[in-house]
């Protein structure tokens, strides 16, 4: 089966399988690759403080929620992002993450609300961080690729940093976006 066919089945199953979760965030399958645990830190509900660089080079601060669930009977992870843009518009997007045993890396797809164009990232564990690279796009400076790094990961918090390259990853503008996430435990 082609990689694209597997991905399409993954998308379909996300919307069908969510009711079969053992609890609010699901459980990993005992038969899933052990690497599924590399992204287990994202499972749960998170309050996020955000700082993203705007087109003029200044940072916009905000808040968001990020909720991670096991999906596909515990073989993959789906996480939802909800925030408000600087112009006051609500913003929602979601990621689908699955470990690819053939490449030894993670396949990640991000679908943002307003563009509705899938962004592809490949990620892997690097020491005590998870590093995602991809998400090609274009902004005022030209074509870019992003590198998103999860770091300082603990049971109840983690951080995320976005770096951006305009030369295919040769050099990076570090810190064009930041997230500080804290686990939400009340009301769950």
Per-residue pLDDT of the chain (188 residues; tens, 9 = 90+): 554 544 444 444 444 344 433 478 999 999 999 999 999 999 999 999 999 998 888 999 999 999 999 999 999 999 999 999 888 899 999 999 999 999 999 999 999 998 889 999 999 999 999 999 999 999 889 999 999 999 999 999 999 999 999 999 999 999 999 999 999 987 65
Whole-model pTM? 0.85
> Could you give the number of structural domains in the chain?
1
pLDDT at residue 23, as a whole number: 79
Residue 20 pLDDT: 36
Q: Count the helices and strands in the chain (H runs, E runs).
A: 1, 10
Cα–Cα distance measured from residue 144 to residue 180, given in angstroms and rounded to the nearest whole number = 24
Q: Is residue 15 part of a domain?
A: yes
- 111 part of a folded domain: yes
| Residue 147: φ, ψ to 5° | -130, 115
Domain residues for the domain of 148 are 3-183
Which CATH number goes with the domain that contains 19? 2.40.128.20
pLDDT for 188 equals 54
Classify residue 188: in a domain, yes or no.
Answer: no
């Amino acid at each position: 089966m082609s990689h694209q066919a597997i991905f399409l089945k993954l998308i379909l199953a996300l919307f069908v399988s969510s009711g079969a979760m053992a609890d609010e965030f699901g459980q990993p399958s005992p038969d899933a690759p052990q690497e599924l645990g590399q992204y287990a830190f994202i499972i749960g509900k998170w309050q996020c403080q955000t700082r993203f660089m705007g087109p003029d080079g200044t940072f916009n601060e905000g808040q968001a929620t990020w909720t991670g669930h096991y999906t596909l009977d515990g073989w993959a992870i789906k996480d939802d992002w909800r925030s408000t843009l600087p112009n006051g518009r609500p913003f929602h997007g979601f990621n689908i993450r699955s470990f690819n045993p053939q490449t030894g890396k993670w396949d990640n797809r991000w679908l943002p609300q307003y563009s509705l164009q899938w962004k592809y990232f490949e990620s892997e564990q690097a020491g005590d961080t998870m590093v995602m690279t991809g998400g090609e796009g274009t902004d005022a400076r030209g074509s870019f690729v992003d590198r998103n790094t999860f770091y300082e990961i603990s049971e109840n918090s983690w951080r995320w940093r976005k770096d951006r390259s305009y030369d295919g990853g040769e050099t990076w503008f570090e810190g064009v976006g930041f997230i500080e996430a804290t686990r939400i435990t009340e009301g769950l």
